[in-house]
Chains A and B, each alone.
Chain A
Amino acid sequence: MTQSKIPVDLILSKLAEEAEKVQSRASKASEVLLEDLDTAIAQTPYEVVYQEDRVKLKHYLPRTKSRYKTPLLVTYALINRETMLDLQPGRSVVERFLDSGIDLYMIDWGYPTRKDRFLGFDDHINGYMDNIVDFIRERHKIEKINLMGICMGGTFSVIYSALYPEKIKNLITTVTPTNFDTKKGLLHVWMENIDVDRVVDTFGNLPADMMNLGFLLLNPARLMIDKYVGFMEHNDNKQFVENFVRMEKWIFDSPDLPGEVFRQFIKDCYQGNKLLKNQLEIGGQLVNLKKLTMPLLNIYGKFDHLVPPEACDQLVKHVGSKDTEDICLDTGHIGIYVSSKYQKEFAPKIAGWLKERDQIPRKRAPRKKTTTDKTAAGANKPRRTKKANT
């Protein structure tokens, strides 16, 4: 009698073992889920120092003595909320910046309603952003501030810095799409065929739920199945559940996107790639990237499926600045900000980079270009290489 190739007995005993584990886990999970869970996000204290319409300017209360002469303004995207930078105590980019002694401001774009449907790039950049920058400059009696942009907020920051280079001392772009002529990211592929006029004319603003569904469809196997399977496997762990719910809160706390911003983002950026071509026009002014003469730090994720490296890594080649640095981290679009591992690298890197350039008045920028080796091996270890001026 030959032995069966399929270890039926082993499989059955494992199944029985797993069924027992699931039962025990389910019992513990019900206790955890009924407990008083701490799932609050954005807990770092701040005050609203400026407000215009729905847009607010948050100023975080310092946790230590300020070690920088120039304050930092963070501009988040109009998609999702800036609370991602402050998910929970101990896992917060905001906290890390404050602990480094950075005087931190952050724009809260609020929740656009139907009346905001006509607000486009011009209103957000020449309007709200410029007013906020002027407010901070006046408040601190300084000529220039540091600006950091995230995702679409990074695109806004690039445009703003090109239009008002006299007001920006250092520019940091993180996961910022500037090159839209790539087939690497699914968003880039999909957006080419979208009839944006029809969508905006019908819906006014782009509904957040529609946007979220689109993001989930970028990877349904992981985002709609595997993620929740993972939750079911660990829902007896209180800390895991709390972290998971915090993330869920952030992901689905999505404001609608003002219609005209969406129209311009798709037509001029995704379909026209006008920013890199210096053809983008905002409020009657042409955006010329050569006017970006301030130091530029450009950080992006190697496994970012929303804004792939190809969408980010062209910027430094097109700006007028001689002091630029590209950093490609071995992580995704959100991992840069929320993963404990990359938070340890990301925030101190920015703080250190700003510290090096915090002299007032800034003299001539070093005539060098610094880039980071973007190979898989060296991706998360920024390495400076001097390049000849071009």
Chain B
Amino acid sequence: MNENKEDPSGMTSMVDTWLKSMGDLLGNMATQWGATQGQQQPWTLAGKGASPQAQATMDAAFKNWQSMANAMAAPESMSALLKGSGAMPEMLLKLSQSSLNGFGEMQQSLSERFSRMGATAEAYEFQDIDENIFRIWTDIYEKEFKQFFQIPQLGLMRTYQEKANQVADKYNLLQSTLAEFLNLLSLPFNQTMQVMQEKVGEMAENGALPDESRVYYNMWVKVLEGHYMTLFQTPEYVETLARTLNTLADFSAARDSALEDLLGSLPIAKRSDMDDMARELYELKKRFRILEKELKK
């Protein structure tokens, strides 16, 4: 009664019947197997020269399956099985719930990250957006995106994947720093245009506008030169130049390291191999020269 209460759908009787029939089938198969072992039927796996060990193994397997089926058909086992199957939807729900929670957290973390991007950008004055936009982008990249390329890699290919990520990361950083540097280099052009407009305006007002285009050009190039000279001495330019060189060096190093791995599988000497050899040669030559000079003395 209790079982029926727990299983109102009639699942118990259905599984019970199926398990009993499985036990009978396996028992019959085992009996049949034992009866035919002396006659060697053509379909048997063992064939004519089947070893007694193989037959014993098959016997044991059939018997195990039969006893397993019988054991499962016992009322207490059925009850446990049904409890387990009753718990299945709950388990699945928990599993899906935790996955959804994880996904939600990830989404939340991403949206927080995106909202922080705004906060990062706020650190700069947007009145100067034209001048700062590239610096802001570099900063956002370094603070918010860079980490994605630093997620630890796992498994057999982890080293290669890590190196590939490094190349991508350093490339992105080089691009954003380079954009920043090139933007700085373009600033004197904008300033020169403004100065020229003012100067030409003044000359037009005074009726002293030159009619030779060369005069305008000379004026423009002189103002441009002056703006460049001013820019080049600013700490911002010096710092950006140094940073651009560093990111270029970092990207080249990451790229070379990844390429070295590729070359490692080819019958070609790697750059590091050549460098090692060059260093050895260099040291040998140096020792040789010292000895030669000492001998001369």
Contacts and interface: CB of A to CB of B under 8 A. Distances in A.
Contact of A193 (B188, B238, B278): B238
The SS class assigned to the B binding surface is: helix
B105 interface: no
Interface stretch (B24-32, B61-69, B75-83, B281-289): B281-289
A127 B290 CA distance: 9
B246 A198 contact: yes
Interface residues of B, number: 38
Interface stretch (A2-10, A162-170, A366-374): A2-10
Contact of A221 (B207, B225, B249, B253): B225
Given A115-B278, A221-B228, A195 B246 contact: yes
A6 B209 CA distance: 6
A248 interface: no
B221 interface: yes
A28 interface: no
Given A6-B209, A203-B252, A221-B224, A190 B278 contact: no
Interface in A181-228: 183, 186, 189-190, 192-195, 198-199, 201-204, 217-222, 225-226
A195 B238 CA distance: 12
Contacts of B249: 195, 198-199, 201-203
B245 interface: yes
Contact of B278 (A11, A15, A117, A225): A117
A118 B282 CA distance: 7
Contact of B232 (A186, A198, A222): A186
Contacts, number: 92
B221 A225 contact: yes
Contact of B213 (A6, A15, A183, A189): A15
A290 interface: no
A302 to B, nearest CB: 17
Interface size class of A (residues with CB under 8 A): 35 or more
A127 B289 contact: yes
B183 to A, nearest CB: 15
B130 interface: no
Contacts of B224: 221, 225
Contact of B279 (A118, A199, A218, A219): A118
A15 B245 CA distance: 44
The 4 closest A-B pairs by CB, nearest first: A5-B207, A221-B225, A115-B278, A202-B249
Interface of B: 185, 188, 204-207, 209, 211-213, 217, 221, 224-225, 228-229, 232-233, 238-239, 241-242, 245-246, 249-250, 252-253, 256, 271, 274-275, 278-279, 281-282, 286, 289
5 contacts: A14-B211, A186-B232, A199-B249, A219-B225, A221-B188
Interface of A: 5-7, 10-11, 14-15, 18, 114-115, 117-119, 123, 127, 183, 186, 189-190, 192-195, 198-199, 201-204, 217-222, 225-226, 229
Given A18-B213, A127-B289, 14 more contacts: A15-B213, A117-B278, A186-B232, A190-B242, A193-B238, A193-B242, A194-B242, A195-B242, A202-B249, A203-B249, A221-B221, A221-B225, A221-B228, A222-B221
